[in-house]
Chains A and B, each alone.
Chain A
Amino acid sequence: MPPDRKEEEVRRVLDTPHPYVPADLAERAAERGRRILRRRRFVHQLLWLLLVAAIVTGVVFAVLEWPDPQPLDTTPPVDTW
């Protein structure tokens, strides 16, 4: 496929002088990334903690509040023999 003349012209327009990359750009980005990671880790820990707390609460509540089967005073009446 031959190179397209129009596309070549546009590529020339796009070939602007290369911007100057600040020296501390990577360091600042890494610092922000570490902050993102810390926040993410904190949120994950919080959610796990909530899940565990909910499960523990449910189990404890079930153990404490489970209704005991009441013992019968009399034998049940028997009508079919």
Chain B
Amino acid sequence: MGTRRAAAEYQRDVEFQAFTAGAAGRLLHAATLLTGDPAAAEKLLGTVLAHTYANWFRMRSEDPYDQARTELVRRFAYRPWWRRPHGGALDRLTAQERLVVVLRLFEGVAEEQAAAQLGLPVERVRAICNRATATLRSRPAPAPARSVTEARAAAEKARKQAASENSRENPPGGPPGGSPGGPPGGSAGGSASSSDTPAESSSAADEIQGAAS
């Protein structure tokens, strides 16, 4: 190997070490958010960093972090459908929504840049971002039952919990707010308990979901 090439390799090593020491944590965080799985994120980031190392002298004056992020996004975006991301903080989002959310809100990339990188119109990126925001802010939907017995058990549990909640709010010894059976007197307690029921059933469904997963 000639002296010049040896010097170039040395420079590449040193600069790459400095770059990874500073940027690997944030890139790994982004990759974990995208893939939802730490092991898969580490693998993805390893590939991305290897290509960044190989192309180190091909970039002229660009930011290596931008280059690595572009590579990360490209490699994640062109994954086949059987390697869909699962789990993680963005469990309920699709791969495209994950990309848009991570680019726009985690990395703080401008809408136009994100759109250019993903090959989408700006309006589409905005719409996907809004939809993903709404999904993330909404309450998680109860997991669909996989069998009739499971559905029956969930319904039974929800009913029991609602009943116990009702009896706790209106103890049979003598409710302070009128009789629970009469329509005019029990309207306050009845409406309160009925408004509590969906929350209770959803929390019960959450417990079932947690037990199943």
Q: How far is the CA of A26 from the CA of B33 in the complex (A)?
A: 20
Chain A interfacial residues counted at CB < 8 A: 24
Interface residues of A in 1-31 (CB under 8 A from B): 6-7, 9-11, 13-14, 16, 18-19, 21-22, 25-26, 28-30
A36 close to B (CB within 8 Å): yes
A34 close to B (CB within 8 Å): yes
B45: A residues at CB distance < 8 A: 25, 29
Q: How far is the CA of A40 from the CA of B51 in the complex (A)?
A: 12
Q: Are A34 and B24 in contact, CB atoms less than 8 angstroms apart?
A: no
Asked whether A7 and B105 contact (CB < 8 A) given A16-B89, A36-B54, the answer is yes
The main secondary structure of chain B at its interface with chain A is helix
A33 close to B (CB within 8 Å): yes
Q: Are A28 and B33 in contact, CB atoms less than 8 angstroms apart?
A: no
Q: How far is the CA of A29 from the CA of B51 in the complex (A)?
A: 8
Interface residues of B in 87-125 (CB under 8 A from A): 88-90, 101-102, 105-106
Q: How far is the CA of A40 from the CA of B42 in the complex (A)?
A: 24
A52 close to B (CB within 8 Å): no
Q: Are B46 and A14 in contact, CB atoms less than 8 angstroms apart?
A: no
Q: Are B42 and A16 in contact, CB atoms less than 8 angstroms apart?
A: no
Chain B interfacial residues counted at CB < 8 A: 35
B136 close to A (CB within 8 Å): yes
A44: B residues at CB distance < 8 A: none
Q: Are A26 and B137 in contact, CB atoms less than 8 angstroms apart?
A: no
Q: Are B24 and A26 in contact, CB atoms less than 8 angstroms apart?
A: yes
Q: Are A33 and B32 in contact, CB atoms less than 8 angstroms apart?
A: no
B28 close to A (CB within 8 Å): yes
B163 close to A (CB within 8 Å): no
A60: B residues at CB distance < 8 A: none
Q: A14-B102, A30-B13 are in contact. List 14 more A-B contacts (CB 8 A).
A: A9-B133, A10-B137, A11-B105, A16-B32, A16-B89, A19-B32, A21-B28, A25-B20, A26-B20, A29-B52, A33-B49, A34-B53, A37-B54, A40-B54
B residues sitting closer than 8 Å to A (CB atoms) are: 13, 16-17, 20-21, 24-25, 28-29, 32-33, 38, 41-42, 45-47, 49-54, 56, 88-90, 101-102, 105-106, 132-133, 136-137
A-B contact pairs, 12 of them (CB 8 A): A14-B105, A16-B32, A16-B33, A16-B88, A19-B41, A25-B20, A25-B45, A29-B45, A30-B53, A33-B16, A33-B54, A37-B54
